Structures are given as C-alpha cells and as structure tokens.
Structure 1
Amino acid sequence: MYDSPACEAVNADCLKCPKAVDNLILYASHSRGFHFIMPKCDNNIIMFLLKGEALVNSEEYAGVTLHAGEFILQAVGSKYEVLAMTDVECVCYRFSQPESFCEGRFQHIAKDVVPPLIFFPLKICSELNFFLEASKSYLVEGKICRELLQFKQKELAFILWRYYSDYELSMLVHTLSKYTDSFQYFVLKNHDKVKTVEEFAELGGYTVTTFRRIFTSVFHQPVYEWMQERRKEGILYELRHTNFTISEICYKYGFESLSHFSNFCKKNFGLSPRNLRKEVEKPSLSAPQDSMFLSV
C-alpha cells in the first residue's frame, strides 16, 4: 500500500516521510482581539470560520462580519484585514490556481454569470461542514502527506461545485479570474523562484527593459527594490514563524556564511537572527501569515 520506507516502521513519524509537504489546508484557533493585516496575498485563500465571529475588511468584503458557519475567498494580490471579535476557530485553504475545479463550469461562470454587486459570505452547507470537521484533527500538523492533500483538495472542490449554485460561486470565480491572468499574478507567484531581475524577465518571456517598465507601472516601484523587500519579508517571516534552523534560512536566501547573514539582519532589522527568533514570544508581534486564514 505504501511505497515509502518510512511507512514500514511501527508508529512511523509521517512528518519525516519524503512525501510530507507543507500543509495547504490549515486548522487554527485564536483568542478574541487577534488582529492580522495581509498587505498583499501571495496565494488564493478560502477562509472557513467554524466558531466565533471575525471582522473582515477588504475590497471585496468591506467591514463584513464573518460568522461561524460562513466562508469567503481572498484572491492572490488582494489586501485584507481580520479582527477576531470572539475566540475563533477556522480552517483555511491556500492554493495557487483552481486546478481542482471543473474547468468547463469555471469558464461558464466567468463568462456568463454576473456576480452580485455586493459580495457576501457564503454559508457552510452540511456536507462542507462534515468535510471541515472531519479534516481538522490532522490539519493541526505542519505537514501532510502529498497524496492525501491532493485527495482533500479534489474533495473540497467537488463539494463546492456540487452543493453551491453558479450565482454563489460567481463571487469566488470572478475574484479568482480577476488576478490569475494578470502580470501581477505572474510576479507574485514567481518572485521567489529567481534571484535577479534578468532571470525574472527571462522567465516571463520579456526583455529586461520591457519587464522593468511594466513592473514599475503595475507595482509603482523598481523591480529590484521590490524583490529586496520580499526577500527581507521572507527572511523575517521564516525566522519568527517557522522551525527551519538559522543555517537553513541563511543558505536558502543565498548568503555565503552565517556571519554575512547576521550582518544583514542587524543592518536591516536591528537584531541578530537569534534575537529576531526570540522576538516571536513577545505579544506585540503579528501572527504568522498563514496562522489564521491561510491555505487549505
């Protein structure tokens, strides 16, 4: 049944299996007063609220209260803010493209179905609630089996397409299609795959001059400056909110030595990597990007 040697052992640690991947379906709980701001989503995210109430503010959902038993979608590139009005529990699904969705129906809704003028949260139907409640116990883990994750993604997509109308789904589909064909989407999904502006331009099939011009017109700042900001954000996030060692983070981001990495952190953040990691225990820090409403 299993082709991984790690599964042959009794009580094997699945997190050490080579098939384990970062969990895109996440369960989380937060106390009343939890506040989180996402300046720009780098993934699509569906937020399923299981318990409590949360205030959401975004272009699509301006000042909307999300109640237990409701869900919304925020697309890649969008900005949103969340405030927990009570203690909350949620399951969140993060994904790059709606590849598990029915392509034919997706295109039909995108072309032929007019979405509501004012978006509203969708109700979690009984079938969807069963899926979420049955899944959350093992979603607490940081990683999940790749094959299981693929099955769960397909199951979730099936439930959405099976039990929701074209009109209801139009709020998801039109939000997704707004970003997925854009230059902005290309940048957000690929910036961590390249090291230089030249590599970035080549990946998109642009000349460097054209890529710089389009980038500046869309993001309103030079591409190199933007890439450096994302690099700093990535380093800070991984130091504060992941279990990667300082050495792993150092070499992942292309530093030649730990001393160079330490100097970079002191110059840009005012603290050494070790002290930045300790900062996570302070209550003033924001929660990690995926902690409340992130990718299923």
Structure 2
Amino acid sequence: MKTNYRNNSPESYIMDTEETTVSVNIWILGQNQYHEFIAGEHNILFVTSGSLICSLQGYIDEDIGSGRMVFISMGSRCCISTTEGVSLICLKPGDILNLYNYPFYSQRQKSNNKKSENKLSVLQFTPLITAYVDYLKWFLQSGFNDPLYFGIKTRELFQLMSISYSLAERTFFFQALISSDKKFSDLIYKNYRQASSIRELATMSCYSLSGFEKRFLKVFGVSASRWIALRRADDIYHEITKTQKSIKQISFDYGFSSVSHFHKFCKTKLGLSPGYIRKQLRDR
C-alpha cells in the first residue's frame, strides 16, 4: 500500500493514500428548501436534526428523519426537499469503501435481494452509530479538518456497522452497488469535461448516439444531457467555493461568452450570483 508522508513538528504522521479520498462536511438546509445534485462520489448522509424527503431515480421517495442515514451511490441524481430546518453530515468514503468489500456483499446475496421493493437504502442509528455521529459532528463544528483523522473515522464507521447491523441490513444499505456499472461510469467521469456534446461523448465511449443514451439512462437513471447540466453546475460551484480563481477566469474556463452570461447561469442554476456565493462562504 502506498503512503504519503507529512511532517508536523514535533510529530510525523503516515497517511495511506485511501485517506486522502475521504471528505466530511456538515450541511445545513433551511425550511422549504430544495436541493438537487448529481453525486460525484458515493455519499453517506447522516441526518442529525429535522427531516427531509429524499428522491432518487427508481426508488420510492422517503421521508428521512433525525437519527437515520442513507446511502447515495456515485452518479445518482438526488433531490432533497425540506419542510423544516435540517442538519446532516455528508461523508464521502472514497476508496476506503472498496477496501471493506461492500459491493461483494451485494453480489453474494443478489439472487435473494431484489432491491427491497425499490426502497431507499436507509438505516436507523443504533446507540453505537449515534455516539459515532455525535463525536464526528463535534469535531466538524470545532473546525477540525485533518484528512488522516477522517480517514480513520471512516474505517471506524465500517467496523461499527459490522457490529451494529446484520449482513442483510448492510447488503440492503449498499444495494445501489449491485447495479453500478463501474467501467461505464468511470469512463463518463473521465471524459465528460472534454466532450463538447453528447454525440462526442458517445463517440469517445465507442457507442452510437442512441446506444449511448440508452446505456447512460440505465446506469445513471437520468438522461445524459440532464446529468451533464447538473454536473457542470456542481463543478462551477466547486470552482467558486474551493479555488482562488477569479470569477472572470472561471467564466472563461467553462466557455461562457461573457461574465454577464456566467452570472445569469449561476443565478438560474445555483440560485445566487458567483460573487454572492463567495461572500456567503467568507461570512461563515
């Protein structure tokens, strides 16, 4: 296993490369809020207060209250709506998920598990998981942000899940991995930014346009054009909030004809102008 080394005097830490793929964030959603996104990675959402309605293609909409968690697989189009304020923790386990072989749980029981009548992958917290989430939330709220720590906590989660839930319950939770077409989805994530059109992306994927659109809809649960529009908005939001690029540079990088057109896009797709999104981040 490869390692990266980071020196923090007077101590040194050894970080497995898998740790760097993990991210953890707190989401705060207001009353009567609607949020739609394409999951760029596998997500585990822990609802810590309030309740939300979660919609995923092919599954029955579910009201998820405090003390429950839901798994959202990479590439899924997810819609979240609220009737009250909601707080949740979003954990992206990255490569650590693969180390714990959850996809193989599903493969072994595939014949006995028919996607649980299209129910979402939701589990109730056990006392162990409640204590885990409370501890994680405390560290996040204190501003602590160390990839090594969160990698360790992700490994701990999977260990606690093996204690807290039966194999059947864990299989149910990760059921979306049964139908994941990793080879195709990896190809899309690798190429979609370089393609100037759906037809070009289909060609890069060695498909006819009609065959590509059918395969895409089957794997991602949404049309290619809709998926790419949502991913583009998500990528732009990341550029605004996570980089030091100027608004003008981001606008140019994403092919907008003018900054005013870029502002209009952000207000339509993200709800706010790019400058105001950055201002909100600074004011937190």
Same fold (TM over 0.5): yes
What stretches of structure 1 of length at least 5 have no aligned partner? 11-19, 288-296
Contact 2:42 2:92 in 1 (8 A): yes
Contact 2:247-2:275 at 8 Å conserved across structures = no
Would the aligned equivalents of 2:60 and 2:118 in 1 still touch at CA under 8 Å? no
Equivalent of 1:88 in 86, 89, 93: 86
Distance in 1 (CA, whole Å) between partners of 2:247 and 2:252 is: 10
| Counterpart position of 2:116 | 116
Native 8 Å contact 2:50 2:84 kept in 1 = yes
Report what 2:32 is aligned to: 33
Aligned pair partner of 2:67 in 66, 69, 79: 69
Q: CA deviation at 1:68?
A: 0.9
Q: Please give the TM-score of this superposition, normalised by the length of structure 1.
A: 0.66
2:152 matched to which residue of 1? 151
Residue 260 of structure 2 corresponds to: 266
Q: Is the 8 A contact 1:30 1:87 kept in 2?
A: yes
Cα drift, residue 127 of structure 1? 0.9
CA RMSD of aligned residues (A): 4.5
Structure 2 unaligned runs (5+)?
Answer: 12-18, 267-271
- Give the aligned partner of residue 164 of structure 2: 163
Q: Would the aligned equivalents of 1:22 and 1:144 in 2 still touch at CA under 8 Å?
A: no
Question: Is the CA contact (8 Å cut-off) linking 2:106 and 2:177 kept in structure 1?
Answer: no
- Cα shift at 1:134: 0.7
SS of 1:170's equivalent in the other structure is helix
Residue in 1 aligned with 2:100?
Answer: 101
Q: Find the aligned partners of 1:88 and 1:107 in 2 and give their Cα distance.
A: 34
Identity value in percent:
12
Q: C-alpha distance in 2, partners of 1:60/1:125?
A: 27
| Paired position in structure 2 for 1:277 | 274
Write out per-residue CA displacement over residues 125-172 of structure 1, whole angstroms, 9 at most, x where no aligned residue.
Answer: 111111111111233588843322321221112222332123322323
Residue 189 of structure 2 corresponds to 189
Give distance in 2, aligned partners of 1:59 and 1:228.
16
2:40 equivalent in structure 1: 42
Aligned-partner SS, 1:76: coil
**CA shift for structure 1 position 99:** 0.8
Q: CA 1:111/1:63 → structure 2, altered by over 3 Å: closer, same or farther?
A: closer
- Secondary structure, counterpart of 2:116 in structure 1: coil
Rounded to whole Å, the distance in 2 between the matches of 1:262 and 1:4 is 39
